[in-house]
Structure 1
Amino acid sequence: MASLTCLHPTHPLLLHLGSALPAISNRCFNHSSSLNRTLSAKSPRTVPPRAMTKPSFSPAQDQVASPGDFEFVPPLRIVEYPDPKLRAKNKRIVTFDDNLKKLVHEMFDLMYKTDGIGLSAPQVGINVQLMVFNPVGERGEGEEIVLVNPRVSKYSKKLTLFNEGCLSFPGINADVKRPESVKIDARDVNGTRFSVNLSDLPARIFQHEFDHLQGILFFDRMSEDVLDSIRGQLQALEKKYEGMTGLPSPEKIENSKKRKAAVGFGK
């Protein structure tokens, strides 16, 4: 498995929760997906700034999360498509306390139990700007990463195509094209600001989870041919939602062209 060698072990991006909580870990990509196998022989690397271009979006109008936004009854559960919480606006976090650390711990625990390598807060029904991931995807191995209020400052012009899965889309894997590398600004679980370059598998995990924080789902970035290959599976999830809730599906895959994501970030 690839490891996050582009980060120094003492970098503030790496999670440090102290002794108050058990060691934490994370995962939204399926650990057994072909994405992992494809990148298993590649080590992440830092990409020179000249290979990147600035995105066009602003966090200025983000709503601020309140203490009530962090309330949940454990254990957490994965929110599956087409639940409207996956499309809802996610609030900016301004309080870095034990409630946040508890949420992070529970998200990591759920990721390991569901065999993922990345997870965003909206995927557990909590609409705040938080993601966790571990490129190795094994409890006690690799680097456990927490990103709060992440922003993309640069991303590479070079795009790569890989097969992605998502815990919110059980059993569905398909090709998605994304920038090969990104430079991000974020806070860690203690509120410390930092910037870091990510490439290869860590960059792809980040972009997948960052899309969740923007209300963008991975099929929004698929080509029409690829989307057609999973259309029946998406429709099955829509019917499953209707059967479980007694409500009409909040979105239909036949209307996907209206939701197609623009190239880049935050759109």
Structure 2
Amino acid sequence: MALRELRFEGDPVLLETAAPVQQFDDHLATLVRDMFETMYAAPGRGLAAPQVGVGTRVFVVDTDWKDADPAPMLFVNPEISDRSKEEAVGTEACLSIPGKSFDVSRPLWVQLRWQDLEGVVHQGQFEGVQAICICHEFDHLNGLLLTRTGTLQ
């Protein structure tokens, strides 16, 4: 495992749409291990591949590790299949925009479809902090970055 260099606001990779993962191999497994190590060291609750300079549709999340036992989650080629119509505004930070936070409106829950390291498809519904983190990291895969005004760019 290795720490990867974080990319910061102004880096063009953060504004690009990430490509789907095609190969489920050792390269992907290494990327994911490195992303978890980088996220925990940052310290963050989520990290998308573009934030370490890799333009693929992968992100990792662990909303529990700062307050309880770690609960790492990996999402390859995620798709939001449904979301609540109701939204709530909350304050978010981003490892790619250090030292700043933004008020962002997010759905109360999301239904997600994704693959794991072997390419097996999963589905699940996430709410609360998990839904917020998933939406935030999903935005990174679509080239969306929080701006200084708290809107999405």
TM, length-normalised to structure 2? 0.93
Percent sequence identity is 33
Which secondary structure state, in structure 2, belongs to the residue aligned with residue 110 of structure 1? Answer: helix
The structure with the largest strand share of the pair is: 2
Instruction: Report matched runs for 1:24-39 at 5 Å.
Output: none
The structure with the largest helix share of the pair is: 1
Following TM superposition, by how much is the alpha carbon of 1:218 offset from its aligned partner in structure 2, in angstroms?
A: 2.2
Q: 2:51 matched to which residue of 1?
A: 123
For the aligned residue pairs, the C-alpha RMSD in angstroms reads: 2.0
Q: What amino acid is the match of 2:145?
A: L
1:166 matched to 2:94: yes
Following TM superposition, by how much is the alpha carbon of 1:99 offset from its aligned partner in structure 2, in angstroms?
A: 0.9
Moved over 6 A (4+): none
Q: 2:42 matched to which residue of 1?
A: 114
Segments of structure 2 that go 5 or more residues without pairing to the other structure are: none
- Distance in 1 of aligned mates of 2:139 and 2:126: 16
Which secondary structure state, in structure 1, belongs to the residue aligned with residue 111 of structure 2? Answer: strand
Q: 2:61 matched to which residue of 1?
A: 133
Following TM superposition, by how much is the alpha carbon of 1:163 offset from its aligned partner in structure 2, in angstroms?
A: 0.5
CA deviation string 1:35-94 (max 9, x = no partner): xxxxxxxxxxxxxxxxxxxxxxxxxxxxxxxxxxxxxxx531110001101011211102
Q: Is the 8 A contact 1:120 1:132 kept in 2?
A: yes
Q: What amino acid is the match of 2:141?
A: L
TM, length-normalised to structure 1? 0.54
Q: 1:152 matched to which residue of 2?
A: 80
Q: 2:130 matched to which residue of 1?
A: 202
Which secondary structure state, in structure 2, belongs to the residue aligned with residue 172 of structure 1? Answer: strand
Q: What amino acid is the match of 1:112?
A: Y
Following TM superposition, by how much is the alpha carbon of 1:159 offset from its aligned partner in structure 2, in angstroms?
A: 0.4
Instruction: Report matched runs for 1:234-249 at 5 Å.
Output: none
Structure number with greater Rg is 1
- Distance in 2 of aligned mates of 1:198 and 1:89: 23
Q: What amino acid is the match of 2:22?
A: V
Which secondary structure state, in structure 1, belongs to the residue aligned with residue 10 of structure 2? Answer: coil
- Distance in 2 of aligned mates of 1:189 and 1:211: 21
Following TM superposition, by how much is the alpha carbon of 1:136 offset from its aligned partner in structure 2, in angstroms?
A: 1.2
CA deviation string 1:175-230 (max 9, x = no partner): 101111000111011111011000000000000000000001123xxxxxx81xx7
CA deviation string 1:114-173 (max 9, x = no partner): 1101000000000000000101134x9231100000001100011001100000000001
Q: Is the 8 A contact 1:108 1:132 kept in 2?
A: yes
Q: Is the 8 A contact 1:116 1:137 kept in 2?
A: no
- Distance in 2 of aligned mates of 1:209 and 1:147: 10
Q: Is the 8 A contact 1:118 1:132 kept in 2?
A: yes
